[in-house]
A = this chain, B = another copy of it.
Amino acid sequence: MNILFIGDIVGRAGRRAVRIFLDEIIEEHNIDFVISNGENSAGGFGITKKVAEELYDYGIDFFTMGNHTWDNRDIFNFIDDDPNLIRPLNYPENNPGRGWQTLKINSKNVTIVNLIGQIYMQNNDSPYHKFMELYPEIKDSDIILVDFHAEATGEKMAFARAVDGMVTAVIGTHTHVQTNDAQIFPEGTAYITDAGLTGAIDSILGMKPDKMIEKMKTSLPVSYDVGTGNVKIEGVIVKTDDQNNSVQQIMEIKKNNL
């Protein structure tokens, strides 16, 4: 099975990148399932039903979220009804939505889990312990994919090594910069520290550079606008063996219309 994981989609420019490049990637790599981090897909902050539907139309099958989950309040209207969107599992249990989902894809049970870090990210429970509590329930899935949304490289990698061999892949998100370290760990789990950014090329983290630069120069409050112009899509493809579901390959992909 070939799974595509697309890094944080930022605003209209990010959605445009999905529209332009997704079909082509799906075809080229014979993709069976497309996940993306959607926490910035609506104007850079959160997600709306309209934006989610637009992206489902372009071919995205499933969304994970992160620290921007609740930025756009429209999510409260549909998160409990949308079977294809999850938020961090290690949020309080009384929060709307769920932190994991199992789907049937090509007759395989595929479980997706969304976790968020604790380092430089306050108010989240231990991602490791929340995952281990869940694990007995999902461990017979054919494929388990984890989006670990976090700031610190060490936290992402330590989690992935702690569950090496227990899951198919741990894909990092949040920093909006693709890392150059896709690899398969000793016990067979595929890993990348960050899948990257899907959005405007002439941008800082997907937002127009001008306000980010003004902020650097003055520290005064600014409001950020989504970048425009040429766009890129970044992510990873994880290929698994259909016999035994082991990882065969994890590869970075990036495309742009420069």
Interface residues of A in 91-129 (CB under 8 A from B): 91-95, 118-120, 122-126, 128-129
Identical copies of this chain, number: 4
Residues of B within 8 A of A179 (CB): 177-180, 194
Give A62-102 as 1s and 0s: 1 = Cβ < 8 Å from B's Cβ atoms: 00000000110000000000000000000111110000000
A180 CA to B7 CA, complexed, in Å: 13
A219 CA to B92 CA, complexed, in Å: 7
Q: Residue A41 at the B interface, CB < 8 A? A: no
A140 CA to B123 CA, complexed, in Å: 29
Give A41-73 as 1s and 0s: 1 = Cβ < 8 Å from B's Cβ atoms: 000000000000000000000000000001100
Main secondary structure of the interface of A (DSSP, over half): loop
Interface residues of A in 159-180 (CB under 8 A from B): 159, 161-162, 175-180
Which of A151, A159, A205, A220 counts the most chain B CB atoms within 10 A? A220
How many residues of A are in contact with the other chain, CB < 8 A? Answer: 53
Q: Residue A184 at the B interface, CB < 8 A? A: no
Contact in complex: B122, A212 (CB < 8 Å): no
A245 CA to B126 CA, complexed, in Å: 36
What's the nearest-Cβ distance from chain B to residue A215, in Å? 7
Contact in complex: B204, A161 (CB < 8 Å): yes
Chain A residues close to B by CB (< 8 Å): 70-71, 91-95, 118-120, 122-126, 128-129, 151-155, 157-159, 161-162, 175-181, 186, 193-194, 196, 202, 204-205, 209, 212-213, 215-221, 252, 254
Q: A91-B219, A95-B220, A179-B194 are in contact. List 15 more A-B contacts (CB 8 A).
A: A70-B220, A92-B129, A92-B219, A93-B129, A94-B218, A120-B151, A123-B219, A126-B219, A153-B175, A154-B176, A155-B216, A157-B212, A158-B212, A161-B213, A178-B181
